[in-house]
Amino acid sequence: MSSKPVTINPPGHPPIVPTYSHISTVPVNASSKLISFAGQVGYDPVSKSIPQGLPAQVTLALENLSKCLETVGAEKADIVQVRHYVVGMSKLNQEDKEKRGKIYGEWIGDSKPPSTLIGVESLAAPELLYEIEVVAVVNG
């Protein structure tokens, strides 16, 4: 069993830049692997566009994260840590704050991993308003 990390990009979800990988997986023992998912954003790799508005970006980022989870055979229940990054969080209107929470809550379902919400000044592109980063442990 090799303990070296393996990086993966899901089919149909290419990296934005060639030096970037969406997923890194490394065995932690004979039956488990630790999987780190790079921050997923509201970027549509097919249309190469970023929708306007926080709720639309949250929805698309979660769709991208779902593709990543599926690629490595992980489920939402395997997630052990979540970080949400929101641009200008202190200036967001209450409606967008509530929509972000509702969209994420519906996506994560009954699984309730530890989650941190972090307000940031900016992300990788000026149009981006949201990014989600997760870590999971998968058995088998």
Distance CA 22, CA 10 (A): 8
> What does 68-115 look like in DSSP terms, one character per residue?
HHHHTT--GGGEEEEEEEEETGGG--HHHHHHHHHHHHHHHTT----E
39-64 pLDDT tens trace: 999 998 888 899 999 999 999 999 99
Work out the average pLDDT over 103-114.
Answer: 96
| Structural domains of the chain, with CATH | 39-132 (3.30.1330.40)
Residues 44/13, Cβ–Cβ less than 8 Å: no
pLDDT the model gives residue 20: 81
This prediction has a pTM of 0.92
Q: Which of 125, 117, 129, 112 is nearest to 76 (CA)?
A: 112
Q: How many residues does the chain have?
A: 140
9-27 pLDDT tens trace: 888 887 777 788 899 999 9
Element (H, E) at 137: strand 130-139
Instruction: Categorize the per-residue pLDDT at 78 as very low, low, confident or very high, splitting at 50, 70 and 90.
Output: very high
What SS3 class is residue 43? coil
